Amino acid sequence: MTPQRIAQIEHDQGLDRPLPQQFVVYAENTLTGRFGISFVTNESVTTVIARAIWPTVLLVGSATLISTFFGLWAGIKGAWGRGSLFDTTSLFGSLVLYSAPEGWLGMILLIIFVGTFHWFPAGQMSSNTGQTGIANVLDILSHLFLPCMTLVLGYIGEYTIIMRSSLLEVMGEDFVMTARAKGVPDRLVRRSHAVPNALLPTLTLVFYSFGFILGGSVIVEAVFSWPGLGLLTYRAIQDLDYNVIQAVFLLFSLAVIAFNLAADITYGYLDPRVREA
């Protein structure tokens, strides 16, 4: 590459201007939604991100939904039968899963379900055989299975532990005792007194982590070559694709802020004490 060509690229990218001016230009471009082009693919960053956003929503969305459902279920069941075999087992399992790195979990699932049993695809989002309709949806689901399971296993432990401890705390509260003393049936005590109050901190956590796992699925998406924002980030960092990196990090920050806001709004909706304040 000649120095002339380099000077030309620097000029095109605005890198020959003084730093404060570069910042103003960056701020202006960002606020007007212009993120520039990817150095690697020469496409506009908006296109690159738009392509990656749905796969991530699908993966993270389904994983969050499933892990929340089962995590809360196990946490509730564990706390309600504290000390039972189920509780001990699920608590131990949760601690193990909570501490297991996602990349490692993914590798284990790969070795078991792909290398040994040949059940699921090792990566990607579709077989790229041009099928359509229901066959295409099923093809995507079979590709979704392993990365989704990895994320589910990664998050379920945390949800179980938080739900369990927050329900245990609520179960010690006098209003639960009052309800029991009044003769409210056990299941109803759990459903209308204990769980709704214990859900508050857990759901807040779910919302917060939703904001983070948009970016936090980087490892899992890289292990399974899932074409979402995480993989985009992973590759952009490897390739030093600064425009893409800037845009995805901005997106991740916005996601965290948005989900924090959503959590606050939901909290207000669910908890009358917060609603008034």
Partner 1 sequence: MSDPQPEPDVAELGVPVVEVERLEVNFKGRVGFFAGLLGRKGSDAKAVDGVSITLHEGEVLALAGESGCGKTTTARAIMGLLIPDAGTIRYRGEPLARSRRGLRGYRRQVQMVFQDPTAALNPRQTIYEIVAEGLRIHGVPGGPDAKTEDELVARALSRAGLRPPERFYLLYPHELSGGQRQRVVIAGALVVDPSVIVADEPVSNLDASVRGEILALLMKLREEFRISILIVTHDLGLAWTVADRVAVMYLGRVVEVGPAEEVLQRPKHPYTKALLNVVPEAGGTERPILQGEPPDPTRIPKGCRFHPRCPVVASGRAERIGILNRCVGEDLALEELAPGHDVACYLTGLGEEP
Partner 2 sequence: MMRRWRPVALAVTLVMVGGVALSGSALAQSSGTSSPTGNKIVLRVGVPGDMISPNPLLATNGDDYETLFNAYDLLFNFNPDDLSPSPGLATACNPSADYRTWTCDIRSGVTWSDGQPLTAEDIAFTYRFIETTDENEVFTSYLPYHPTFSVPNATTLIWKSPKPTFAPTIPPWIPILPEHIWKQYEGDGKAARGFANVPAVGSGPFVLTSWDKGQGWTMEANKNYWGGAPAIDEIQYIVYDSQEAMVQALKSGQVDFTDNLNPTLFNSLVGQPNIGTVKGTASTFTNLAFNFGGQGPDATNNPVLKDLNIRRAIAMGIDKQSIVDKVWQGDAQVGSVVTLPSRPQWFYTPTDVQSQAYDPAAANTLLDQSGYASKDPSGIRLDKNGQPIDLNIITLPEETGSVDTGKLIAAQLQQIGIGVKLQSMSDKQIENNNWYTGDFDAYVWGWGGDPDPNFILSIFITSQCLGWSDGCYSNPTYDKMFAHQSTLLDHTARVAYIQKMQQFIYDQIPEIVLNYPNYLQAYRSDRFTGWKPEPTNGGTYLFGWGNQYQGLQPLAAAESGSSSGIPTVLWVVLGLVAIAVIAFVALSRRRRAEEEA
175 binds, among partner 2, partner 1, none (CB under 5 to 8 A by kind): partner 1
Burial, 20: exposed, middle or buried (Cβ in 10 Å; 0-12, 13-18, 19+)?
exposed
Closest CA to 72 of 213, 215, 201, 180: 201
Residue 130 vs 272, nearer CB to partner 1: 272
Report d(CA 87, CA 77) in Å as an integer. 7
Those residues whose C-beta lies under 8 Å from the C-beta of residue 170, and which sit 6 or more positions away, are: 176, 193, 194, 197, 198
Residue from 7, 8, 95, 178 binding partner 2 (CB under 8 A): 8
- Helix axis angle for 45-80 and 229-239, nearest 10°, is 130
**96-104: long-range contacts, CB 8 A cutoff, minimum separation 24:** 96/157, 97/153, 97/154, 97/156, 97/157, 98/157, 98/158, 98/161, 99/157, 100/153, 100/154, 101/219, 102/150, 102/151, 102/154, 102/219, 102/220, 102/223, 103/219, 103/220, 103/222, 103/223
266 binds partner 1 (CB under 8 A): no
* Binding positions for partner 2, 37-66, rule CB under 8 A: 40-42, 51-52, 54-55, 57-58, 61-62, 65
Can you tell me the distance from the alpha carbon of 79 to that of 75, in angstroms, rounded to the nearest whole number? 6
List the interface residues with partner 1, window 193-222 (CB under 8 A).
Answer: 193, 196-197
Q: Which of 20, 85, 99, 187 binds partner 2 (CB under 8 A)?
A: 187
Q: What character string, x for contact with partner 2 (CB under 8 A) and - otherwise, covers 205-234? A: ----------------xxxxx-x---xx-x
| C-beta of residue 229 within 8 angstroms of C-beta of residue 52 | yes
Phi, psi of 37 (to 5 degrees): -115, 155
* Interface with partner 2 (CB under 8 A), residue from 14, 101, 172, 185: 185
Residue 110 near partner 2 by CB under 8 A: yes
Out of partner 2, partner 1, none, what residue 76 binds, judged by CB under 5 to 8 A for its kind, is none
Q: Is 127 in the site for partner 2 (CB under 8 A)?
A: yes
In the list partner 1, partner 2, none, the entry touching 271 (Cβ below 5 to 8 angstroms by class) is partner 1
**8 vs 92 by CB, closer to partner 2:** 8
Kindly determine how many residues on this chain lie close enough to bind partner 2 according to the rule CB under 8 A: 68
Contact in structure between 65 and 209 (CB atoms under 8 Å): no
Which 3 state secondary structure label does DSSP give 37?
strand
Single out the residue of 12, 16, 43, 186 in contact with partner 1 (rule: CB under 8 A).
186
User: With CB cut-offs between 5 and 8 Å by kind, which of partner 1, partner 2, none does residue 173 bind?
Assistant: partner 1
Binding site for partner 1 (CB under 8 A): 88, 91, 173-175, 177-186, 188, 193, 196-197, 270-273, 276
Binding site for partner 2 (CB under 8 A): 1-3, 5, 8, 40-42, 51-52, 54-55, 57-58, 61-62, 65, 106-107, 110-111, 114-115, 117-132, 135-142, 145, 185, 187-188, 191-192, 195-196, 221-225, 227, 231-232, 234-235, 238, 240, 270
